[in-house]
């Protein structure tokens, strides 16, 4: 008779152990492969190490040399290509604290123009070492501070003469003599002119590269404040005589003054809107506002209106100091207009070539 084989025999136990071991090993391998796959998927795309990426960046060294002595002042190292000249000025200020950024003038050549703060360092590079020439521009003030100081002075100075302080005029003579209405009108127009300038400085004009030497502000204040004192002294003097042609001369001149002030304001607003919108590819065009139609004849109508204001004020008051001031202002604004006109010719030649700079010429 055949005997039933016992599954618990040693041979059978070995076979089961071998099969079970193979199954357990294949199961462990599958789990390990699954875990590795999940790790790769969770890690996402393999990125290069920061050290490798960082090593590909090229840095520049900027050598700062004194423009007069040609001696090296310092070297600004590890300047990234995307840096601007303003970034270099800040690093230069850290190395030399006595020169803050607005006081530093940098040139690519000794006799070349000063570089703007917005210039990219990479655009100046011929090699990894860039040499720039340093000039101390002196103490600087912001353009907003410059204009607020320059225009606030005439406003306050004129009012001091208008109230006829006892330290300026004889009080007995001031009480005895009657003030002609043109004196009050002149005070109103003068204050209106400078109040407009102050408000436009704060809310209309946008100043870039916003610094100028302090000495320029001192010269500007001396000019405006000095002439205002001279003008206000004569117009508000107790012995002031009214214009020769009386009420008509005053009325027409005052109307012309107000129109020029309004035109100047609307032109400044139009120029500011063009700057804010970023549309600098074409010359400013006149709008439905009649005061902007002067753009059809001249390239700098704001200077035209400014000159018209002072000429009208001269006719209205019929005073020699005002006439001298208006004459000097027309000359100065003509120079500014010619300079701007040349820039406009380079940028908007087809549109500007038939226009005058400041004084309309009708063919």
What is the DSSP code string of 81-138? TT-BHHHHHHHHHHHSTTS-GGGEEEESSTTSPBPPTT-BHHHH-SSSEEEEEEEE--
Q: What is the pLDDT of residue 189?
A: 98
Does the pLDDT of residue 352 top 50, yes or no? yes
Q: Tell me, yes or no, whether 271 and 207 share the same domain.
A: no
Beta bridge partners of 84: 120
pLDDT for residue 281: 66
Q: Is 204 exposed, middle or buried (0-12, 13-18, 19+ CB in 10 A)?
A: middle
99/90 Cα distance (integer angstroms)? 10
Same domain, 355 and 246: yes
User: Which has more confidence, 282 or 184?
Assistant: 184
Q: Which residue has the higher pLDDT, 352 or 310?
A: 310
pLDDT digits (tens, 9 = 90+) for 305-348: 999 999 999 999 999 999 999 999 999 999 999 999 998 888 88
Helix 181-203 with 301-317: angle, nearest 10 deg? 160
Q: Are 214 and 141 in contact (CB under 8 A)?
A: yes
Domain assignment present for residue 125? The answer is yes
Provide the phi-psi class of 18: left if phi over 0, else alpha when psi is between -120 and 50, else beta: alpha
First to last CA, the chain: 139
In a domain, 201, yes or no: yes
- The domain tally of the chain equals 3
Percent of the chain past pLDDT 90, that is, above it, reads 61
Separation of alpha carbons 162 and 42, rounded Å: 81
Provide the residue range defining the domain that includes 121.
60-138
Q: How many residues does the chain have?
A: 363
> 3-class DSSP state for residue 243?
coil
Say what percent of the chain tops pLDDT 70.
82
Query: What mean pLDDT comes out for the span 241-255?
Result: 96
User: How many CB atoms sit inside 10 A of residue 177's CB?
Assistant: 14
The helices-and-strands tally (H runs, E runs) of the chain is: 12, 6
| Residue 3: pLDDT over 60 | no
Instruction: Give the orientation angle of helix 301-317 with respect to helix 320-347, to 10 degrees.
Output: 170
Same domain, 183 and 128: no
Same domain, 131 and 211: no
Q: How far is CA 4 from CA 1, 7, 8, 9, in A?
A: 10, 9, 12, 11
pTM: 0.78
Residue from 33, 40, 50, 132 nearest 87 by CA: 132
Q: Which of 183, 213, 241 is the last residue of a domain?
A: 241
30/272: higher pLDDT: 272
Whether residue 262 sits in one domain with residue 346:
yes
Residue 207 CA to residue 319 CA, distance in Å, equals 35
Q: In angstroms, rounded to a whole number, what is the distance separating the alpha carbons of residues 171 and 184?
A: 18
Check whether 75 has a pLDDT greater than 50.
yes
Whether residues 260 and 310 share a domain: the answer is yes
Q: What pLDDT was estimated at residue 332?
A: 96
In a domain, 259, yes or no: yes
More confident residue, 232 or 355: 232
Considering only residues 77 and 5, tell me which one the structure prediction assigns the higher pLDDT. 77
Domain termination site, one of 138, 167, 186: 138
Q: Does residue 281 belong to any structural domain of this protein? A: yes
Domain termination site, one of 96, 112, 138: 138
pLDDT at 54 over 60: no
In-domain check, residue 2:
no
**DSSP state, residue 23:** H
For residue 210, give the 3-state DSSP assignment.
coil
Q: What is the torsion angle, in degrees rounded to the nearest 10, for the CA atoms of residue 329, residue 248, residue 192 and residue 210?
A: -20
Give me the chain's average pLDDT, please: 85
């Amino acid at each position: 008779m055949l005997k039933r084989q016992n599954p618990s025999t040693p041979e059978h136990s070995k076979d089961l152990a071998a099969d079970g071991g193979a199954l357990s090993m294949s199961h462990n391998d599958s789990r390990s492969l699954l875990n590795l796959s999940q790790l790769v998927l969770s890690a996402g795309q393999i990125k290069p190490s920061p050290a490798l990426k960082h090593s590909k960046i090229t840095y520049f060294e900027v050598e700062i040399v004194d423009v007069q002595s040609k001696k090296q002042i310092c070297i600004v190292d590890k300047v990234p290509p995307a840096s601007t000249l303003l970034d270099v000025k800040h690093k230069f200020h850290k190395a030399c604290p006595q020169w803050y950024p607005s006081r530093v003038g940098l040139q690519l050549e000794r006799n070349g123009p000063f570089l703007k703060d917005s210039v990219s360092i990479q655009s100046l590079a011929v090699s990894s070492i860039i040499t720039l020439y340093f000039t101390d521009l002196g103490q600087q003030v912001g353009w907003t501070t410059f204009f607020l100081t320059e225009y606030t002075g005439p406003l306050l100075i004129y009012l001091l003469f208008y109230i006829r302080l006892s330290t300026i005029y004889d009080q007995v003579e001031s009480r005895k003599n009657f003030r002609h209405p043109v004196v009050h009108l002149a005070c109103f127009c003068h204050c209106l002119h400078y109040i407009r300038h102050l408000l436009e400085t704060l809310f209309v004009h946008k100043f870039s590269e916003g610094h100028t030497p302090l000495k320029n502000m001192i010269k500007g204040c001396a000019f405006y404040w000095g002439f205002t004192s001279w003008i206000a002294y004569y117009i508000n003097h107790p012995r002031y005589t009214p214009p020769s042609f009386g009420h008509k001369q005053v009325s027409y001149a005052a109307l012309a003054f107000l129109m020029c002030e309004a035109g100047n304001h609307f032109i400044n607003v139009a120029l500011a809107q063009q700057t804010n919108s970023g549309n600098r590819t074409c010359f400013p065009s006149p709008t439905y506002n009649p005061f902007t139609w002067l753009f059809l004849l001249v390239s700098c109508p704001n200077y035209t209106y400014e000159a018209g204001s002072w000429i009208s004020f001269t006719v209205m008051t019929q005073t020699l100091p005002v006439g001298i001031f208006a004459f000097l202002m027309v000359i100065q604004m003509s120079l500014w207009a010619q300079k701007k006109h040349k820039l406009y010719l380079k940028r908007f030649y087809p549109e500007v070539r038939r226009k005058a700079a400041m004084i309309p010429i009708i063919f």
